[in-house]
């Protein structure tokens, strides 16, 4: 059976949420959202997990989620270490925010030798999405990179704007990817590009990236070159610039270094951006448990 790794980006600041939301309990037995992704990934056939975290959060991760799953799947840790990056680049000493999702994935590159799926720690992706990712690998004979896309309407919150990778798809190929701030305005779904370009309206079925990618390890050295160029181009903006994986993968697509095929999923997605989202997420999980999709105590 083909080895597959789940890479979980868990080094975010959680500033809008108000704390370390990656280890906020949501399930009835104290489960985090990460727990449900790991549970679904194991069911789908993954056999290794890499947590990308800040170095200072290692012990809290080991003592919580790590301890619960280390007898069920191989667990490794990679560090998105900003202090090490400051030794390489002229990053302001007072910057505390990581350098973006591309840097996160590259921090785990020495641990990845097999097809891997990337997700956020603080999102619920649904089992169908993991099964779709595995199916994508099988359909392409583990030879292509892919992105799992959701409908925009299935990813919004009532509590404020959210960041989303707005995608344009033609003939099952990703043609454009723009990182945007998205929210409802006067009954319309409006997207504001983080680049500062003009806002635009989205149709309800517009595909979006939720940072779930099905990738091959040979994409990593290519991403490293893109990241190195990004840092050189942003020497005057190192106090706040971020290298975003969806945009950097699209750069490789645009340069014809890779193809990024899309896989639309019917899976339900929900996440936590704001404190006010917690009640709705917990309620949804309880509904799934009541339907028998998950046990009440996930790791019993």
Q: Where are the alpha helices (DSSP H) in the chain?
A: 33-44, 58-61, 67-69, 82-88, 101-106, 127-139, 220-233, 245-254, 277-290
Which residue ranges make up each domain of the chain? Answer: 5-149+208-290
Cβ neighbours for 135, distance < 8 A, ≥ 6 positions apart? 263
DSSP 191-207: EEETTSPPPEEE-TT-E
Architecture of domain 5-149+208-290: Alpha-Beta Complex (3.90)
pLDDT tens-digit map of 107-160: 999 999 999 999 998 889 999 999 999 999 999 999 999 999 998 988 887 778
CA–CA dist 108, 176 (Å, integer): 26
Tell me the pLDDT of the chain (300 aa) as tens digits: 789 999 999 886 454 444 555 667 888 998 988 899 999 999 999 999 999 998 888 888 888 888 999 999 999 999 998 888 888 888 988 888 889 999 999 999 999 999 999 999 888 999 999 999 999 999 999 999 999 999 898 888 777 888 888 988 888 777 887 889 998 998 899 999 988 999 999 998 899 988 899 999 999 999 999 999 999 999 998 988 999 898 899 899 889 999 889 999 988 888 777 778 888 888 899 999 999 999 999 998
Closest among 29, 205, 8 to 123, alpha carbons compared: 8
Residue-averaged pLDDT of the chain: 89
Q: Which residues pair with 173 in a beta bridge?
A: 170, 261
pTM for this predicted structure: 0.88
Residue with tokens 């190195």: 228
Cβ neighbours for 162, distance < 8 A, ≥ 6 positions apart? 155, 156, 181, 182, 183, 271, 273
């Amino acid at each position: 059976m083909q080895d597959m790794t789940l890479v979980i980006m868990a080094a975010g600041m959680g500033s809008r949420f108000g704390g370390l939301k990656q280890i906020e309990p949501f399930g009835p037995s104290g489960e985090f959202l990460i727990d449900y992704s790991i549970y679904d990934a194991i069911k789908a056939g993954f056999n290794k997990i890499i947590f990308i975290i800040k170095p200072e959060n290692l012990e809290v991760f080991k003592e919580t989620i790590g301890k619960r799953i280390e007898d069920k799947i191989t667990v490794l840790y990679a560090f998105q270490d900003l202090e090490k990056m400051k030794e390489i680049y002229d990053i302001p000493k007072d910057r505390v925010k990581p350098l973006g999702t591309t840097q996160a994935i590259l921090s785990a590159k020495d641990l990845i030798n097999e097809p891997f799926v990337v997700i956020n720690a603080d999102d619920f992706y649904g089992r169908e999405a993991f099964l779709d990712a595995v199916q994508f690998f099988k359909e392409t004979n583990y030879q292509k990179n892919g992105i799992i896309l959701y409908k925009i309407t299935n990813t919004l919150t009532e509590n404020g704007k959210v960041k989303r990778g707005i995608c344009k798809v033609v003939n099952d190929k990703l043609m454009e990817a723009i990182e945007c701030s998205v929210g409802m305005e006067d009954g319309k779904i409006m997207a504001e590009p983080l680049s500062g370009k003009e806002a635009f309206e989205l149709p309800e079925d517009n595909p979006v990236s939720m940072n779930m990618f099905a990738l091959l390890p040979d994409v990593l050295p290519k991403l490293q070159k893109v990241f190195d160029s990004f840092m050189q181009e942003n020497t005057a903006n190192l106090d706040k610039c971020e290298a975003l994986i969806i945009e950097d993968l699209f750069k490789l697509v645009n340069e014809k270094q890779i193809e990024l095929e899309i896989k639309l999923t019917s899976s339900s997605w929900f996440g936590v951006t704001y404190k006010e989202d917690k009640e709705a997420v917990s309620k949804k999980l309880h509904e799934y448990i009541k339907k028998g999709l998950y046990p009440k105590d996930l790791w019993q």
